[in-house]
Amino acid sequence: MSELMDTIVLWPSLLAVLLIFGIAPGTVLRLLVLLYPRDDARRRELIAELYTIPRLERPLWVCEQLETALFEGLSNRIRSRRTRRAESAENRAISKREALKQRQESQVTVGALLIRHGLTVRDGRPGRHRPPTRSYRLSRSSRLGQLLDEVVIEKGHARGTVHEKAS
Amino acid sequence: MDNPAGKHWGYELSKLSGVRSGVMYPLLSRMLSAGWLVDGWEEETATGGKRPPRRYYKITDEGRLQLGAALQAASHDARFQGLNWRFV
């Protein structure tokens, strides 16, 4: 009977010891370092330090790291997230400004645009050569409509020169 | 400390100084950003492939001046009497 009791007491204790001094410190530490930002060197540093610490000290040391990760890691993460958001907003504003500037500065020749759309210029106005079929005619006319929405033909200007509408 | 100008690890520094690691790591971060320390990573060959390379810290000339002055001031302060001054 006493042998049986010993066995029951021994196995859970052994498992607990294995868990606390074996698997748990590494697992818990790896979860804790996730609180740090992804590019933070402290993540790698703490995991590397764990393996130089004597096994008996590891559980306590990992508990201490909870404090560090909560106060240092979380604040770093929040700070880096704020910085990233501010940077991306700034980049968006810059690219918007540049796109607008390019749109305002760009000059597109009617010839180039019409050739791209498969159309020709006749008397300063975009036109087309006899379409072979009705469906071809319809598709071309809708494309021409789109094109005319996009560009403003300057009257009296050299034939074939348009400016994009500054929206 | 045998070689204050050499490479030291966070855990080792915490053991030598008697400062808890929860306090030591944020301190090291602040000293790094102040330029008092420089950091780097242990060579892979030094670990023998048995564990990941550790991050080391080395004191800079600026750090030696600043920390020397700070320690000098703190050595007379009653609040820091519990620290292990052999570390210095």
- Tokens 């010839």 label which residue? A111
Q: Which one of A46, A51, A68 has the shortest CB-CB distance to B51?
A: A51
Quick: pLDDT tens for A113-134: 666 666 655 555 555 555 555 5
Phi, psi for residue B63 in degrees, rounded to 5? -65, -40
- Split at pLDDT 50, 70, 90, the class of B7 is confident
Question: What is the ipTM score, two decimals?
Answer: 0.78
Quick: pLDDT tens for B21-63: 888 888 899 999 999 999 999 887 777 778 889 999 999 999 9
pLDDT of residue A150: 64
Interface probe for A, chosen from B55, B56, B57 (most Cβ of A below 10 Å), is B55
Q: How far is B54 from chain A (nearest CA, A)?
A: 5
Q: Which one of B11, B20, B55 has the shortest CB-CB distance to A53?
A: B11
A45 touches chain B (CB under 8 A): yes
Quick: pLDDT tens for A106-117: 766 666 666 666
B40 touches chain A (CB under 8 A): no
Q: DSSP letter at A133?
A: S
Cβ atoms of residues A29 and A59 within 8 Å: no
Q: How far is CA B84 from CA A87, A134, A154, B36, B81, in A?
A: 45, 95, 85, 21, 8
Lowest mean pLDDT segment, chosen from A33-37, A133-137, B45-49 = A133-137
**The whole model's pTM is what?**
0.59
Q: Do A52 and B54 make contact, defined as CB atoms within 8 angstroms? A: yes
Q: What value does the mean pLDDT take over residues A125-150?
A: 60
What percent of chain A has a predicted confidence (pLDDT) above 70? 60
Size of interface A-B (CB pairs under 8 A): 46
Search chain B and give the residue with CA nearest A49: B54
Quick: pLDDT tens for A2-17: 776 676 677 777 787 7
- Chain A environment of B25 (Cβ under 8 Å): 42, 46, 68, 72
Tokens of B68: 């020397």
Cβ atoms of residues B10 and B55 within 8 Å: yes
B85 touches chain A (CB under 8 A): no
Cβ atoms of residues B31 and B65 within 8 Å: no
Q: Which residues contact A62 (CB under 8 A, 6 or more apart)?
A: A24, A25, A28, A29, A32, A50
- C-alpha A15/C-alpha A125 separation (Å) is 88
A54 touches chain B (CB under 8 A): no
